[in-house]
Homo-oligomer: A and B are copies of this chain.
């Protein structure tokens, strides 16, 4: 129950063991073509360009930085935690000049600060926000950012790191006018790790095409990938790098399931599971890391440990009860809070699997063993 890799559906997992198939095979052309089409649907776009590349989710940052920034260009990173900060580090590695707007752990930076950064000096090439920063469990209001950017700096691209959000948070790339969203296969998209999955808007592609300097690097170059994606979508194999055939096949099954569940039903289930976990932890006397429910993610929960409970004591107690949770991951207080993932089958098939009830029970018992005093009148889960 960590915030990714998540638990997988058995059919998705079975596809991982599908026999060797040439990446040029007509059967795979069709699988990859459909996967590209379904990606567009899950991200809420009709005109965006999907990219599915063999790599960890981290590589989404490289793909953005390598293709959309030129050395010396200005980028703004709105930071809500470790992953936002790493995106800034990645942009700098490609030569961008980065302004980071930080908030304290659990908070979002204010729109006023963001507006000030957007209107100071030459317009930024891009601004990044982390939809859910997995280190803090803080959720961003994406349309509030796009509206602000279009009003005060219309040429700035809005890039959303959706690693812990796509597939469990509302996302409407076209309607919200987002330029890039990138995620990884192993979070709420419900497939094993190893694929970076992205959408680039036509506006982002125009910025790419207008570059006056060459793309830095090779493997993440859109110049290489755009013809490959277009070609597979037209059910014609074309070669740049061998696709991770089994992972793509597995993602195909997962995306099919997501669309069959319907996205609204899937998101509602994640909201309900999130409320259930957060309500239960608050009843136990714990305080959430995000300062309010408004800014809290629905695919994971970060909660402060009680003063008298230590992380290296708490996590093994939970683990002994068969549940794996994650520790903190924010430089401000990594050992003072823990993180619970609630995504994919652990939410969708909760009635059958019972992951959430088991997790809450394990947390409750571990807190009790560790000497936590529950609020008066506390009723066990």
**What residues of chain A have their CB less than 8 Å away from a CB belonging to chain B?**
2, 4-8, 13-14, 16-17, 19-25, 54-59, 61-62, 65-66, 89-90, 93-94, 184, 186, 192-194, 214-221, 240-247, 324, 326
Interchain CA distance A197-B155 in the complex, whole Å: 40
Residues of B within 8 A of A20 (CB): 5-8, 192
The docked-state distance in angstroms from the alpha carbon of A214 to that of B94 is 10
Chain B nearest CB: distance from A307 CB in Å?
Answer: 26
| Complex contact A14–B13 (CB within 8 A) | no
B21 pairs with A17, CB closer than 8 A: no
Cα–Cα distance between A94 and B220 once the two chains are bound (Å) = 12
- Does the CB pair A194–B23 fall under 8 Å? no
Given contacts A7-B20, A93-B221, contact A242 B2 (CB under 8 A): no
The reply to whether B8 and A184 form a contact with Cβ atoms under 8 Å apart is no
What's the nearest-Cβ distance from chain B to residue A354, in Å?
A: 16
Whether A66 lies near B217 (C-beta < 8 A) is yes
Shortest distance between the CB of A133 and any CB in chain B (Å): 15
Majority secondary structure, A binding face: loop
Using CB atoms, name the residue of chain B closest to A346: B20
**Shortest Cβ distance from residue A24 to the other chain B in the assembled complex, whole angstroms:** 8
Residues of B within 8 A of A57 (CB): 241-242
Which of B6, B22, B324 meets A324, CB within 8 Å?
B22
Supposing A5-B245, A94-B216 touch, asked if A194 and B19 sit within 8 A by C-beta, the answer is: no
A-B contacts, 26 listed (Cβ < 8 Å): A5-B22, A5-B23, A16-B17, A16-B246, A23-B193, A25-B324, A54-B55, A54-B194, A55-B55, A56-B243, A56-B244, A57-B241, A58-B219, A59-B241, A62-B219, A62-B220, A93-B217, A93-B221, A184-B242, A186-B242, A192-B246, A193-B245, A194-B194, A194-B244, A194-B246, A217-B220
Q: Which residue of B lies closest to A344 (CB)?
A: B20
A61 cross-chain contacts in B, Cβ below 8 A: 218-219
Which of chain B's residues have a CB closer than 8 A to the CB of A326? 22, 24
